[in-house]
Amino acid sequence: MNYLSRTFGKIILIGEHSVVYGKPAIAIPFDDTHLDVYIEKSDKNCISCKYFEGELDYSNDEILGINKLVDVFLEQYNISEKIKIKIDSNIPHERGMGSSAAAAVGVTKALYNYFDIDYNIEEIFSFANISEKIVHGNPSGIDVNVVANNKSLYYIKNKAFENFPIDTDAYIIIADSGKKGATKEAVSDVKKLVNTDKKYMQYIEKLGELTDMAKTNIENNNIFKLGEIFNSAQDYLRKLTVSDNLLEELIEIAIKNNALGAKLTGGGRGGCMIALSDSLENAQKIKLALDSKAKETWMTKLKIK
Ligand code: PMV
Protein backbone atom coordinates (compact mmCIF):
# COMPACT_ATOMS: atom_id res chain seq x y z
CA MET A 1 0.00 0.00 0.00
CA ASN A 2 1.39 3.43 -0.93
CA TYR A 3 1.33 6.32 1.48
CA LEU A 4 -1.03 9.18 0.68
CA SER A 5 1.10 11.82 2.36
CA ARG A 6 4.61 12.16 3.71
CA THR A 7 5.50 15.00 6.05
CA PHE A 8 8.78 15.78 7.81
CA GLY A 9 9.83 16.83 11.29
CA LYS A 10 11.03 20.34 12.07
CA ILE A 11 13.64 22.05 14.17
CA ILE A 12 13.35 25.53 15.63
CA LEU A 13 16.81 27.11 15.36
CA ILE A 14 15.88 30.09 17.51
CA GLY A 15 12.85 32.00 18.75
CA GLU A 16 10.82 29.31 20.54
CA HIS A 17 8.56 30.75 23.24
CA SER A 18 9.18 34.37 22.20
CA VAL A 19 7.37 33.50 18.92
CA VAL A 20 4.18 33.08 20.96
CA TYR A 21 4.49 36.81 21.83
CA GLY A 22 4.78 38.01 18.24
CA LYS A 23 8.60 37.90 18.05
CA PRO A 24 10.28 36.24 15.07
CA ALA A 25 11.56 32.66 15.00
CA ILE A 26 13.61 30.65 12.52
CA ALA A 27 12.73 27.02 11.88
CA ILE A 28 13.78 24.40 9.35
CA PRO A 29 12.21 21.20 8.05
CA PHE A 30 14.17 18.13 9.09
CA ASP A 31 13.89 15.37 6.52
CA ASP A 32 15.88 12.77 8.48
CA THR A 33 12.58 12.19 10.25
CA HIS A 34 9.25 11.66 8.52
CA LEU A 35 5.65 10.59 8.98
CA ASP A 36 3.60 8.65 6.40
CA VAL A 37 -0.19 8.35 6.33
CA TYR A 38 -2.13 5.54 4.65
CA ILE A 39 -5.91 5.32 4.29
CA GLU A 40 -8.11 2.43 3.20
CA LYS A 41 -11.82 1.62 3.16
CA SER A 42 -13.09 0.01 6.36
CA ASP A 43 -16.36 -0.92 8.06
CA LYS A 44 -15.71 1.51 10.93
CA ASN A 45 -13.59 4.67 11.30
CA CYS A 46 -10.37 3.32 12.77
CA ILE A 47 -6.83 4.46 13.36
CA SER A 48 -3.59 2.58 13.71
CA CYS A 49 -0.53 4.35 15.10
CA LYS A 50 2.09 3.97 17.81
CA TYR A 51 -0.27 5.24 20.50
CA PHE A 52 -3.58 3.68 19.59
CA GLU A 53 -5.06 0.89 17.54
CA GLY A 54 -8.82 0.69 17.09
CA GLU A 55 -12.00 2.64 16.54
CA LEU A 56 -11.64 6.42 16.47
CA ASP A 57 -14.70 6.78 18.73
CA TYR A 58 -12.82 5.00 21.51
CA SER A 59 -9.39 6.56 21.00
CA ASN A 60 -7.22 7.84 23.84
CA ASP A 61 -5.96 11.33 24.79
CA GLU A 62 -2.75 10.95 22.78
CA ILE A 63 -4.67 11.21 19.52
CA LEU A 64 -7.52 13.46 20.61
CA GLY A 65 -6.39 16.18 18.19
CA ILE A 66 -6.24 13.88 15.16
CA ASN A 67 -9.58 12.33 16.14
CA LYS A 68 -11.27 15.76 16.16
CA LEU A 69 -9.61 16.79 12.88
CA VAL A 70 -10.87 13.64 11.12
CA ASP A 71 -14.38 14.13 12.55
CA VAL A 72 -14.60 17.73 11.35
CA PHE A 73 -13.18 16.82 7.92
CA LEU A 74 -15.66 13.99 7.31
CA GLU A 75 -18.55 16.15 8.49
CA GLN A 76 -17.54 19.19 6.47
CA TYR A 77 -17.36 17.16 3.25
CA ASN A 78 -20.45 15.05 4.06
CA ILE A 79 -18.49 11.82 3.82
CA SER A 80 -20.21 8.66 5.01
CA GLU A 81 -17.59 6.15 3.79
CA LYS A 82 -15.75 4.55 6.72
CA ILE A 83 -11.98 4.54 6.66
CA LYS A 84 -8.95 3.14 8.41
CA ILE A 85 -6.06 5.60 8.86
CA LYS A 86 -2.58 4.25 9.44
CA ILE A 87 0.23 6.53 10.64
CA ASP A 88 3.84 5.41 10.39
CA SER A 89 6.34 7.80 11.91
CA ASN A 90 9.96 7.97 13.01
CA ILE A 91 9.64 11.53 14.34
CA PRO A 92 10.15 11.27 18.10
CA HIS A 93 6.89 12.14 19.84
CA GLU A 94 6.69 15.17 22.17
CA ARG A 95 10.35 16.06 21.71
CA GLY A 96 9.97 19.46 20.03
CA MET A 97 10.57 17.99 16.58
CA GLY A 98 7.13 18.72 15.19
CA SER A 99 5.59 15.27 15.38
CA SER A 100 2.09 16.54 16.23
CA ALA A 101 2.19 19.10 13.39
CA ALA A 102 3.48 16.44 10.99
CA ALA A 103 0.61 14.14 11.98
CA ALA A 104 -2.00 16.90 11.68
CA VAL A 105 -0.74 18.14 8.30
CA GLY A 106 -0.09 14.58 7.07
CA VAL A 107 -3.55 13.26 8.00
CA THR A 108 -5.24 16.31 6.43
CA LYS A 109 -3.31 15.92 3.17
CA ALA A 110 -3.96 12.18 3.12
CA LEU A 111 -7.72 12.72 3.62
CA TYR A 112 -7.81 15.20 0.73
CA ASN A 113 -5.83 12.81 -1.46
CA TYR A 114 -7.86 9.72 -0.55
CA PHE A 115 -11.21 11.39 -1.24
CA ASP A 116 -9.77 13.11 -4.32
CA ILE A 117 -10.81 16.60 -3.18
CA ASP A 118 -8.85 19.65 -4.37
CA TYR A 119 -7.22 21.65 -1.59
CA ASN A 120 -5.10 24.67 -0.93
CA ILE A 121 -2.57 25.42 1.80
CA GLU A 122 -5.08 27.50 3.80
CA GLU A 123 -7.36 24.47 4.10
CA ILE A 124 -4.42 22.36 5.28
CA PHE A 125 -3.63 24.98 7.97
CA SER A 126 -7.18 25.23 9.13
CA PHE A 127 -7.67 21.45 9.61
CA ALA A 128 -4.18 20.93 11.05
CA ASN A 129 -4.79 23.73 13.55
CA ILE A 130 -7.86 21.93 14.90
CA SER A 131 -5.51 19.24 16.13
CA GLU A 132 -2.65 21.57 17.13
CA LYS A 133 -4.94 23.69 19.33
CA ILE A 134 -5.94 20.57 21.26
CA VAL A 135 -2.35 19.38 21.58
CA HIS A 136 -0.67 22.75 22.28
CA GLY A 137 -3.39 25.03 23.63
CA ASN A 138 -2.22 28.28 22.06
CA PRO A 139 0.19 27.38 19.24
CA SER A 140 2.10 30.16 17.46
CA GLY A 141 1.59 28.23 14.21
CA ILE A 142 5.29 27.88 13.46
CA ASP A 143 5.24 24.06 13.49
CA VAL A 144 2.32 23.74 11.08
CA ASN A 145 3.80 26.40 8.79
CA VAL A 146 7.20 24.73 8.49
CA VAL A 147 5.73 21.26 8.08
CA ALA A 148 3.01 22.25 5.59
CA ASN A 149 5.39 24.33 3.46
CA ASN A 150 8.42 22.05 3.96
CA LYS A 151 10.67 25.10 3.77
CA SER A 152 12.87 26.91 6.26
CA LEU A 153 11.09 29.97 7.58
CA TYR A 154 11.61 33.29 9.26
CA TYR A 155 8.26 33.30 11.01
CA ILE A 156 6.19 35.89 12.82
CA LYS A 157 2.82 34.82 14.22
CA ASN A 158 -0.20 35.94 12.16
CA LYS A 159 1.99 37.36 9.38
CA ALA A 160 2.62 35.84 5.96
CA PHE A 161 5.62 33.56 6.40
CA GLU A 162 8.92 34.39 4.79
CA ASN A 163 10.87 31.56 3.17
CA PHE A 164 14.40 31.84 4.53
CA PRO A 165 16.80 29.64 2.54
CA ILE A 166 19.93 28.88 4.57
CA ASP A 167 23.36 28.24 3.09
CA THR A 168 26.10 28.13 5.74
CA ASP A 169 29.26 26.08 6.35
CA ALA A 170 28.00 24.99 9.76
CA TYR A 171 26.59 21.66 10.92
CA ILE A 172 23.97 21.14 13.54
CA ILE A 173 23.74 18.16 15.81
CA ILE A 174 20.37 17.37 17.35
CA ALA A 175 20.09 15.27 20.50
CA ASP A 176 16.94 13.84 22.04
CA SER A 177 17.14 13.90 25.85
CA GLY A 178 14.78 10.93 25.93
CA LYS A 179 12.35 12.80 28.16
CA LYS A 180 9.01 13.94 26.79
CA GLY A 181 8.85 17.69 26.43
CA ALA A 182 6.03 19.65 28.00
CA THR A 183 5.28 22.40 25.49
CA LYS A 184 1.70 23.16 26.58
CA GLU A 185 2.68 23.44 30.24
CA ALA A 186 5.89 25.39 29.50
CA VAL A 187 4.01 27.91 27.31
CA SER A 188 1.39 28.39 30.00
CA ASP A 189 4.04 28.78 32.77
CA VAL A 190 5.94 31.37 30.71
CA LYS A 191 2.68 33.28 30.33
CA LYS A 192 2.19 33.28 34.09
CA LEU A 193 5.76 34.57 34.59
CA VAL A 194 5.30 37.29 31.97
CA ASN A 195 2.14 38.41 33.77
CA THR A 196 3.82 38.57 37.18
CA ASP A 197 7.11 40.38 36.53
CA LYS A 198 8.14 42.63 33.67
CA LYS A 199 11.67 41.23 33.58
CA TYR A 200 10.25 38.12 31.89
CA MET A 201 8.85 40.18 29.04
CA GLN A 202 12.34 41.70 28.68
CA TYR A 203 13.73 38.19 28.23
CA ILE A 204 11.14 37.61 25.49
CA GLU A 205 12.21 40.90 23.82
CA LYS A 206 15.86 39.79 24.02
CA LEU A 207 15.02 36.45 22.39
CA GLY A 208 13.34 38.36 19.57
CA GLU A 209 16.45 40.53 19.09
CA LEU A 210 18.69 37.46 19.14
CA THR A 211 16.56 35.87 16.41
CA ASP A 212 17.07 38.89 14.17
CA MET A 213 20.81 38.82 14.91
CA ALA A 214 20.83 35.10 14.08
CA LYS A 215 19.13 35.84 10.75
CA THR A 216 21.81 38.39 9.77
CA ASN A 217 24.65 36.11 10.84
CA ILE A 218 23.18 33.13 8.98
CA GLU A 219 22.90 35.31 5.85
CA ASN A 220 26.57 36.31 6.27
CA ASN A 221 27.68 32.76 7.07
CA ASN A 222 29.11 34.10 10.34
CA ILE A 223 28.73 30.84 12.17
CA PHE A 224 30.99 31.68 15.13
CA LYS A 225 28.77 34.63 16.01
CA LEU A 226 25.73 32.40 15.45
CA GLY A 227 27.12 30.00 18.08
CA GLU A 228 27.36 32.85 20.61
CA ILE A 229 23.79 33.83 19.79
CA PHE A 230 22.61 30.25 20.46
CA ASN A 231 24.31 30.38 23.88
CA SER A 232 22.70 33.72 24.74
CA ALA A 233 19.29 32.43 23.66
CA GLN A 234 19.76 29.42 25.93
CA ASP A 235 20.52 31.79 28.85
CA TYR A 236 17.18 33.52 28.35
CA LEU A 237 15.29 30.25 27.84
CA ARG A 238 16.80 29.02 31.11
CA LYS A 239 15.63 32.23 32.84
CA LEU A 240 12.17 31.57 31.44
CA THR A 241 12.36 28.18 33.27
CA VAL A 242 11.91 26.06 30.15
CA SER A 243 15.24 24.23 30.24
CA ASP A 244 15.90 21.24 32.48
CA ASN A 245 18.80 19.20 33.86
CA LEU A 246 18.92 16.66 31.06
CA LEU A 247 19.01 19.37 28.39
CA GLU A 248 21.65 21.29 30.36
CA GLU A 249 23.82 18.16 30.59
CA LEU A 250 23.62 17.63 26.83
CA ILE A 251 24.40 21.31 26.20
CA GLU A 252 27.43 21.06 28.48
CA ILE A 253 28.70 17.96 26.66
CA ALA A 254 28.34 19.73 23.31
CA ILE A 255 30.17 22.87 24.49
CA LYS A 256 32.97 20.78 26.08
CA ASN A 257 33.40 19.11 22.70
CA ASN A 258 33.92 22.40 20.87
CA ALA A 259 30.39 23.21 19.78
CA LEU A 260 30.18 26.87 18.72
CA GLY A 261 26.97 27.13 20.72
CA ALA A 262 24.10 24.99 21.96
CA LYS A 263 20.52 25.45 23.09
CA LEU A 264 17.26 23.63 23.58
CA THR A 265 14.89 23.47 20.64
CA GLY A 266 11.09 23.52 20.80
CA GLY A 267 9.00 23.81 23.94
CA GLY A 268 11.72 22.53 26.31
CA ARG A 269 11.40 20.86 29.75
CA GLY A 270 12.54 17.69 28.03
CA GLY A 271 12.67 17.11 24.31
CA CYS A 272 15.70 18.01 22.22
CA MET A 273 18.70 20.31 22.08
CA ILE A 274 20.77 21.49 19.13
CA ALA A 275 24.48 22.23 18.89
CA LEU A 276 26.31 24.17 16.21
CA SER A 277 29.63 23.06 14.74
CA ASP A 278 32.08 24.67 12.33
CA SER A 279 33.14 21.48 10.52
CA LEU A 280 32.02 17.97 9.70
CA GLU A 281 34.88 16.53 11.76
CA ASN A 282 33.92 18.49 14.89
CA ALA A 283 30.24 17.75 14.32
CA GLN A 284 31.01 14.03 14.27
CA LYS A 285 32.93 14.35 17.55
CA ILE A 286 30.09 16.27 19.17
CA LYS A 287 27.55 13.72 17.93
CA LEU A 288 29.65 10.87 19.30
CA ALA A 289 29.96 12.57 22.69
CA LEU A 290 26.22 13.25 22.81
CA ASP A 291 25.48 9.63 21.85
CA SER A 292 26.76 8.52 25.26
CA LYS A 293 23.96 10.42 27.03
CA ALA A 294 21.17 11.10 24.53
CA LYS A 295 18.41 8.75 23.45
CA GLU A 296 19.02 9.54 19.78
CA THR A 297 21.17 11.99 17.84
CA TRP A 298 21.18 13.35 14.30
CA MET A 299 23.50 15.59 12.33
CA THR A 300 22.85 17.78 9.31
CA LYS A 301 24.54 20.55 7.36
CA LEU A 302 22.99 23.95 8.05
CA LYS A 303 22.09 24.40 4.39
CA ILE A 304 18.39 24.20 3.69
CA LYS A 305 16.09 25.40 0.94
O1 PMV B 1 7.63 21.81 21.28
P2 PMV B 1 7.33 22.23 19.88
O3 PMV B 1 8.21 21.63 18.87
O4 PMV B 1 5.89 22.05 19.51
O5 PMV B 1 7.67 23.79 19.77
C6 PMV B 1 6.95 24.72 20.51
C7 PMV B 1 7.42 26.10 20.20
C8 PMV B 1 6.85 27.14 21.17
O9 PMV B 1 7.32 28.39 20.71
C10 PMV B 1 7.32 26.90 22.58
C11 PMV B 1 5.32 27.14 21.17
C12 PMV B 1 4.69 27.63 19.88
O13 PMV B 1 3.48 27.39 19.72
O14 PMV B 1 5.37 28.28 19.07
pLDDT in tens, 252-286: 999 999 999 999 999 999 999 999 999 999 999 99
Per-residue confidence (pLDDT) for residue 150, from 0 to 100? 94
Which residues of the chain are modeled with pLDDT < 70?
A: none
Per-residue confidence (pLDDT) for residue 94, from 0 to 100? 87
Per-residue confidence (pLDDT) for residue 139, from 0 to 100? 87
Compute the half-sphere exposure of residue 287: CA atoms within 13 Å on the CB side of its CA: 17
267 lines ligand 1 (CB under 6 A): yes
141 lines ligand 1 (CB under 6 A): no
Per-residue confidence (pLDDT) for residue 136, from 0 to 100? 83
Compute the half-sphere exposure of residue 210: CA atoms within 13 Å on the CB side of its CA: 27
17 lines ligand 1 (CB under 6 A): yes
Tell me the C-alpha distance between 179 and 288, whole Å.
20
15 lines ligand 1 (CB under 6 A): no
Q: Closest by alpha carbon to 148, among 128, 131, 162, 163?
A: 128
CA angle 201, 133, 236 (to 5 degrees): 25
CA angle 120, 126, 131 (to 5 degrees): 130
Per-residue confidence (pLDDT) for residue 1, from 0 to 100? 72
Active-site residue list: 143
82: left (phi over 0), alpha (psi -120 to 50) or beta: beta
Tell me the C-alpha distance between 252 and 220, whole Å.
27
d(CA 41, ligand 1 centre) in Å: 35
d(CA 258, ligand 1 centre) in Å: 28
Q: Which amino acid is at 133?
A: K
Ligand 1 mutation target, pool 132, 142, 244, 272, most atoms within 8 A of CB: 142
Ligand 1 atom closest to residue 25's alpha carbon, by position in its atom list? 9
- Residue 181 sits at φ, ψ, to 5 deg, of -75, 170
pTM above 0.75, yes or no: yes
H-helix or E-strand spanning residue 184: helix 183-196
d(CA 108, ligand 1 centre) in Å: 20
98 lines ligand 1 (CB under 6 A): yes
